[in-house]
Amino acid sequence: MDVVYGLGSATAAEVHARLPDPPHAAAVRTLLRILEDKGHLRHEKDGPRHVYHPTTPRAVAQRSALRHLLGTFFGGSRTAAVAALLDESERPLSESERAELDAMIRRLREDGR
């Protein structure tokens, strides 16, 4: 999905070419078909090729995936998810990341959220 979102539309060959350590081309085509069956992609014919397009804006898909991640791994708790991210000891937060988080929390408080 990331490749298709990044390109705006893509063929199976284009997706395959942009994947790090890609599976067989047939596996990529199968995955694209599954994503289409689930409603995440649609395709148009361009000669013998299928050109895939996302069906929802990236931001909507990100929110949906995040809700699924929160429910699956963190019991729906945003606090637990943020704590897990902040506890990443291999790469501590930079000063600029801390400042961004501080500003975000301040804005949320001001907005009453």
Mean pLDDT of the chain: 93
70 contacts: CB under 8 Å, gap ≥ 6: 76, 77, 78, 81
DSSP 8-state symbol, 62 = H
The band of 89, judged by pLDDT with boundaries at 50, 70 and 90, is low
Q: What is the mean pLDDT of residues 6-14?
A: 97
pLDDT tens digits, 24-45: 999 999 999 999 999 999 999 9
pTM across the whole model = 0.71
Place of tokens 């000669």: 47
